Homo-oligomer: A and B are copies of this chain.
Amino acid sequence: MTGLVRFGISTEKDLLAKFDRLMNDRGYTNRSKAFSDLVRQELVKREWTEGKEVAGAIIMIYDHHKRELVNKLMDIQHDFNKVIMSTQHIHLDHDNCLEIVAIKGTAVEVQKLADILKSVRGVKHTTLGMSSTGKHI
Chain A residues proximal to chain B, CB less than 8 Å: 1-16, 18-19, 22, 25-29, 31-44, 46, 55-57, 59-63, 65, 85-88, 90, 92-93, 95-98, 100, 102, 104, 115-116, 118-119, 121, 124-125, 127-137
Contacts and interface: CB of A to CB of B under 8 A. Distances in A.
6 contacts: A9-B31, A22-B42, A38-B38, A40-B124, A40-B125, A56-B127
A3 B14 CA distance: 8
Nearest to A66: B1
Contacts of A11: 4-5, 7, 32, 35-36, 39
A105 to B, nearest CB: 13
Contacts of A96: 133-135
B127 A130 contact: yes
Given A22-B42, A85-B90, A119-B26, A5 B16 contact: yes
Contact of A100 (B18, B35, B57): B57
A13 B4 contact: yes
Contact of A57 (B26, B28, B59): B59
B33 A46 contact: no
Contacts of A35: 9, 11, 35
B134 A124 contact: yes
